[in-house]
Structure 1
Amino acid sequence: MENPAVSLLVAVYNTEAFLPNCLQSLISQTLKNIEIIIVNDGSTDGSQKIIDHYARKDGRIKTIRQENQGLGAVRNKGIEAASGEFLAFIDSDDWIEPDYCQSMYEKAKDEDADLVICDYAVEIQDTGKTVCPDIGKNYVGKPKEAFIKALLKGQVSGFSWNKLYRRSLIEQHKLVFPLRDELENIEDQYFSFRCLLYANTAAFVTKPLYHYRVHLSSIVQKYQAGLFEDGLALYE
């Protein structure tokens, strides 16, 4: 059986209010040769019922349940389970455009890129406002070092969810996310820096394919003890 072109790795923790919207966007992708790996990190709400419902609807969905271990452990578990040529990380309170996989995968193949970065839309739940940062147009055609410098200077964010990664790149260099008590406040930046360093090429899709939802219950909107110290340790 042919391996999937893309593995979508979904981290779930108590997001029952947003999960149907997220999963519906995944099963509606125009690129059909995908797998969807959902890791439920010990949710205590109705998230698992929603996951089971969608798993019955679509045979491309694989589900993993574990005790709560944190986002880094969840993403590492997804990487271990993935069989796609490329993989992408999806947060379960976000959603993606129908052509997210198709556009990202075609860009990776066209430019023989280990890493593809797309623009995204910030959806501010409490105001209904949408903000679309222009990222790609500033770095298209430039060497990846330009993006790395911008990341170091804080001019762009090191999110892991607006990127498509070649799975062999991650396996070859044993790239993993930090676990709890290991820079967990900035696990995305930690991972992104390393992927950019080892990638042969970083390509860009100048279209907001990923919708990043900002809401009051989001973990990144809460006080994160140790965030400053983790940041210093990362840059060191």
Structure 2
Amino acid sequence: MAVEKTPLVSVVIPVYNAFATLNKCVDSLRAQSYNDIEIVLVNNCSTDGSLDLCLELASKDDRIIVDDLLEKGVSSARNRGIDLANGNFITFVDADDWVDLNVFEIFANLNTEYNYDLFCYSAQYHKEYKTIASYLFSDCVELFSQEQKEELQIKVLTPQSPIYSYKVNTRFAGSVWGKIYRREVLLKNNLRFATETIISEDVLFNTLALDFFHRIGYSRDCFYHYEQSACSAQNRYRPNSEKYFSFVINKIQEWIAKTGKNQNFIDAANCLFVHYLFGILKEDIFHKDNEIPLKKRFWGLKEILNLEKYSNLLKVINKDYFSLPENVLIFLMRNKYCRLLSLLLKLYL
């Protein structure tokens, strides 16, 4: 009996109502110049025929595995993909995105020489007729130093960190796509996505996971293509977001305390938490689809700002991490000037 060869990379794709985009995504993987890959499609309670499409694609390519997961949530789907994957490495691609056809060939060649635990590459954001490239570093890095690893970790928390000369122009640093993880490291350290949150689960995953990856490389080539649509999760109305953001904040604070991270990490994390606070106000108070009367929104704003965890946070942040408009908002929040703040937040958020 022939021994089945272990694929170099397993590509995990959570699929939720992705009938219109999945073909393009999977085609970019099936046509790779490097064939030694596996494609894991995890259908996640789709209602639009995505499961049938997954099965049809699998019938055309024996490298495709299909799983029908009845538990909702992208974190559950990614965790299921990790469990099913057979490759030496795991990478994640969203079902409405795609990758260049040579990404795994280039990774395979570099990995032969450097034996990576983690490999990162750049991305392009596509929105309507506009494309924006996003880079982690100014140059390719064949193998990270400890200082470069810490820079990556801090950029996951705060891409615009003022302590580094090269800034990341989006939150791409915290995303799980654009990264190829050694599966053994994930399994050995039980690294999984938190199912308790539907917001910022990828930032939390990378924050907690990166301590365990040591041999890291980076290509500045934009192999990943991220499709920003009006109906993406970032643009949908997600009420009661405070509980999700609060969960992520608590987990990162626990990690900082447990690992004894230095002040650079603390400042970066606090910057992230303030942006989460902006997100809470946007989602729970000022989102355009929020039908709560204006008076109740005003009292909701006061209630959030009176929470001790946020009032204490606003006292200890490093203002150098924020733009002038953000610092104005922080001043108003710290002093609870809620009427003026309400007006400005509606404009800023």
The TM-score, its normalising length taken from structure 1, stands at 0.92
Backbone CA RMSD of aligned residues: 1.7
Cα offset for 1:31? 1.0
CA distance in 2, matches of 1:228, 1:41: 23
Which structure has more relative contact order (CA 8 Å, sep 6+)? It is 1
Partner of 2:184: 168
Query: Is 1:22–1:96's contact at 8 Å kept on the other side of the alignment?
Result: yes
Residues 1:100 and 2:116 aligned together:
no
Partner of 1:17, secondary structure, is coil
Runs of 4+ in structure 1 over 6 Å off: none
Q: Which amino acid counterpart does residue 159 of structure 2 have in structure 1? A: G
Q: Which amino acid counterpart does residue 153 of structure 2 have in structure 1? A: I
Residues 1:47 and 2:63 aligned together:
no
Q: State the structure with more CA Rg.
A: 2
CA distance in 1, matches of 2:135, 2:113: 22
Matching residue within 171, 178, 183 for 2:197:
183
Cα offset for 1:82? 0.6
Gaps of 5+ in 1: none
Partner of 2:220: 206
Matching residue within 105, 112, 115 for 1:112:
115
Partner of 1:235: 252
Cα offset for 1:53? 1.9
The number of aligned residues is 232
Partner of 1:85: 88
Query: Is 1:144–1:201's contact at 8 Å kept on the other side of the alignment?
Result: no
Query: Is 1:118–1:136's contact at 8 Å kept on the other side of the alignment?
Result: no
CA distance in 2, matches of 1:135, 1:43: 33
Query: Is 1:7–1:82's contact at 8 Å kept on the other side of the alignment?
Result: yes
Cα offset for 1:56? 1.3
Q: Percent identity?
A: 30
Stretch moving more, 195-204 or 38-47: 195-204
Greater per-residue strand proportion: 1
CA distance in 2, matches of 1:139, 1:188: 23
Partner of 2:199, secondary structure, is helix
CA distance in 2, matches of 1:235, 1:223: 25
Stretch moving more, 220-229 or 86-95: 220-229
Matching residue within 45, 60, 64 for 2:63:
60
Residues 1:218 and 2:232 aligned together:
yes
Q: Which amino acid counterpart does residue 209 of structure 1 have in structure 2? A: F
Q: Which amino acid counterpart does residue 185 of structure 2 have in structure 1? A: L
Partner of 2:28, secondary structure, is helix
Greater per-residue helix proportion: 2
Cα offset for 1:228? 3.7
Gaps of 5+ in 2: 161-167, 254-349
